Structure 1
Amino acid sequence: MEYSGEQFDVIVIGAGIMGSCAAYQLSKHGQKVVLLEQFDFLHQLGSSHGESRTIRATYPEDYYSDMVIESSRLWEEAESEIGYQVYIKTPQFDMGPKNNKSLQCVIENCKSSSLPCSVLDNKQVSEQFNGSFELPENWVGLLTQLGGVLKPTKAVSMFQTLALQKGATLRDNMEVIDIKMDYEMGGVYVSTSNGSMFRGKKCVVTIGAWMQKLVKMVSGKALPIQPLHTTICYWRIKKGHEEEFLVDNGFPTFASYSQPYIYGTPSCEFPGLIKIAVHGGYQCDPDNRTWASTEIEDSVYSWIEGIFSGRVDSTKPVFTQSCMYSMTPDGDFVIDFLGGEFGKDVVIAGGFSGHGFKMGPVVGRVLADLVINGEAQGVDLSYFRLGRFEENPKGNVKEFEDQVQSYELLPV
């Protein structure tokens, strides 16, 4: 196959948070990189847009905590390079029934690591937050200082700008339709729907909800990654209580280990409103979404009314926003070489299951390591192997009840 266009060390497909971080890290290490995006840069059709994401190190799985700690440092390094803020620090507050196995694992992980934490009963929680949180009698709270709000669209733009400053080439409206091996020269060819072609020694694929479709098309492999449409809800804080919920006043990001699993951020992006959402959604085809809002369960309304002691209007959200998850059966990431005829020339990263954004910087670092060195230090990638689903369709076996449901895959 003859090719006379520009050649690159690495082609990164997908310019969400993971691809943008990978392009930044690769460029930082002297690689000649092109970052391709199928839509406009900073679009709102995937999983890396919006006003806020949380960052926390409180996980039932201990392998994520260290990743978040490293990622927190990398967020700060990138901020210092660009000169503006995308990471607003505030504590993280987890809560749930005393006997919830996931929450128990979170607490044990904090105690066994270097992550300072305070375990509070319901009375101590009320005192700590001046009544803004009121837990049921059989619940406990966990307060940690490594938490905060990330600004997603601004953050993606930051990493793209830093990659550009370090020599990366950025191309949007480049829908990739094929990846082929170059058996004569080595490396890969990447073709797009508008007739463009790129040649690279290596390729990184980070296309979120479109991962299953493209990988099946180019390799025949059916990845167990299910796109979900999820809805973000903003609720009005009642008059006279707005100051209590401000991020600037130290109100925490939070997560509730009950059914359903609820999470949220302080009042930050919209004055007088607080983000409270449910982890999950309904199956969708990313190219044919209905855009219908996720139905809100009755338990969410009662949770808001009770936990926030009537200080947040629980009758209905003020407005909602759409996003997508890329869900694996076990809720863990997929970070691995594609293998087969592509060997180690193509690296895939997907299935971030609604909790990966905070770890974008460390995932970018890992992807750069895999491309440049063939291995990555500091992160145990055995949990993220693609092959784990061949050994067990449900993936990694966990000792606690899953906070996510199992989803059948849509036809590719």
Structure 2
Amino acid sequence: MAVSNGEGGHDWFDVIVVGVGIMGNCAAYAASSRGAHVLFLEWFDLLHHRGSSHGESRTIYATYPQAHYPPMPVHTLICYWKVKPGHEEELTPETGFPTFASYGDPYIYGTPSMEFPGLIKIAMHGGPPCDPDGRDWSTGAAGAGGLVEPVVRWIDAVMPGHVDTAGGPVIRQCCMYSVTPDDDYVVDFLGGEFGKDVVVGAGFSGHGFKMGPAVWRILTEMAMDGEARTAAEAGVDLRPLRIGRFAENPKGNL
């Protein structure tokens, strides 16, 4: 595709990536590694906090209840809690303390904090619907949509001797999930008049960061080769991730 270079001429690009979050970054890296001339298009400055790809402490896990995973936006809140005195060295990556997820109601996840020594990241997955262009960025009780109290109750029941919940989380950060009705990704060709020229990768938020290394390869192969060889070779069925599933059933895979 030709793009004006502002000097009366045009630059040619093999791949154009719209959105420079974790998936966009990974896909662009994969394409450029194959020799493609890649253009990034991003609305905000790099390292912005308006999406979901910010923060240093990330959870990577290999288990999913949905068989089709390889081994509406909502407003959510990332919370960092103070580790009780005497346990600071226990809840760190260096001592092997693991990331964790509690598949229940509420769904709680956590990980040792790399960016804030002495704190641990524990939060609730999910949150109330929001308008990406009009959310209030509040981290208080109203803006957080009741996302703190369930975490407090969980910590007090599961980790009472290690994490201090008095006074609430020490640090609160707004975050946004771009989720689909069934919480599954969209990985598909846009189709229609665009055919296989446009590949859609979306709806990853909340549990997509860890999938970056796998998804970027799939998206890049679809964009450059017209097929996802890696998924086929690994026996991963991408049909549950089709964009057209919502036309067949508004709830997708539910």
- Aligned match of 1:304 in 155, 171, 176? 155
Provide the rounded CA distance (Å) in 1 between the counterparts of 2:197 and 2:104. 42
Task: Look up the equivalent residue of 1:393 and give its one-letter code.
Answer: P
- Aligned match of 2:110 in 264, 272, 285? 264
**8 Å contact 2:52–2:205 — kept in the other structure?**
no
- Which SS does the other structure have where 2:182 is aligned? coil
The corresponding residue for 1:333 is: 185
Provide the rounded CA distance (Å) in 2 between the counterparts of 1:267 and 1:40. 25
The corresponding residue for 1:238 is: 84
Alpha-carbon deviations, 1:349-370, whole Å to 9, x = none? 1011410011112111111110
Q: Compute the displacement of 1:297 (Å).
A: 5.2
- Aligned match of 2:224 in 354, 368, 372? 372
Provide the rounded CA distance (Å) in 2 between the counterparts of 1:55 and 1:18. 15
Provide the rounded CA distance (Å) in 1 between the counterparts of 2:39 and 2:88. 45
Provide the rounded CA distance (Å) in 1 between the counterparts of 2:100 and 2:160. 16
Task: Look up the equivalent residue of 1:348 and give its one-letter code.
Answer: V
**8 Å contact 2:30–2:220 — kept in the other structure?**
yes
- Aligned match of 1:342 in 194, 200, 204? 194
- Which SS does the other structure have where 1:21 is aligned? helix
> What runs of 5+ residues in structure 1 fail to find an aligned partner?
67-225, 398-412
User: TM-score, normalization: structure 1?
Assistant: 0.55
The corresponding residue for 1:247 is: 93
Matches within 5 A, 1:78-93: none
Q: Compute the displacement of 1:38 (Å).
A: 1.3
**8 Å contact 1:256–1:262 — kept in the other structure?**
yes
> What runs of 5+ residues in structure 2 fail to find an aligned partner?
none
Provide the rounded CA distance (Å) in 1 between the counterparts of 2:96 and 2:67. 26
**8 Å contact 2:179–2:204 — kept in the other structure?**
yes
Give the length in aligned residue pairs: 238
The corresponding residue for 1:285 is: 131
The corresponding residue for 1:8 is: 13
- Which SS does the other structure have where 1:321 is aligned? strand
Q: Which moved more, 1:273-282 or 1:294-303?
A: 294-303
Provide the rounded CA distance (Å) in 1 between the counterparts of 2:210 and 2:180. 18
**8 Å contact 1:54–1:253 — kept in the other structure?**
yes
- Aligned match of 1:360 in 182, 191, 212? 212
Provide the rounded CA distance (Å) in 2 between the counterparts of 1:47 and 1:302. 25
1:383 lines up with 2:240 in the alignment: yes
Provide the rounded CA distance (Å) in 1 between the counterparts of 2:94 and 2:43. 37
**8 Å contact 1:57–1:64 — kept in the other structure?**
no
Quick one: structure 1 residues 338 and 271, their matched pair in 2 at CA, closer, same or farther if it must change by over 3 Å?
same
- Aligned match of 1:21 in 19, 26, 30? 26
Identity %: 61
- Which SS does the other structure have where 2:23 is aligned? helix
- Which SS does the other structure have where 1:64 is aligned? coil
**8 Å contact 1:230–1:282 — kept in the other structure?**
yes
Q: Compute the displacement of 1:347 (Å).
A: 0.9
Task: Look up the equivalent residue of 1:232 and give its one-letter code.
Answer: I
Q: From the CA coordinates, give the structure whose radius of gyration is larger.
A: 1
Matches within 5 A, 1:4-403: 4-66=9-71, 226-293=72-139, 294=144, 295-296=146-147, 298-315=149-166, 316-377=168-229, 378=231, 379-397=236-254
Q: Compute the displacement of 1:322 (Å).
A: 1.3
Alpha-carbon deviations, 1:14-48, whole Å to 9, x = none? 11111111111111112121111111122121111
Provide the rounded CA distance (Å) in 1 between the counterparts of 2:152 and 2:57. 22
Alpha-carbon deviations, 1:318-377, whole Å to 9, x = none? 110111100111110001111121111111110114100111121111111101211102
Q: Compute the displacement of 1:2 (Å).
A: 11
**8 Å contact 1:255–1:261 — kept in the other structure?**
yes
Quick one: structure 1 residues 387 and 37, their matched pair in 2 at CA, closer, same or farther if it must change by over 3 Å?
same
Alpha-carbon deviations, 1:383-411, whole Å to 9, x = none? 110011111111113xxxxxxxxxxxxxx
Q: Which moved more, 1:262-271 or 1:21-30?
A: 262-271
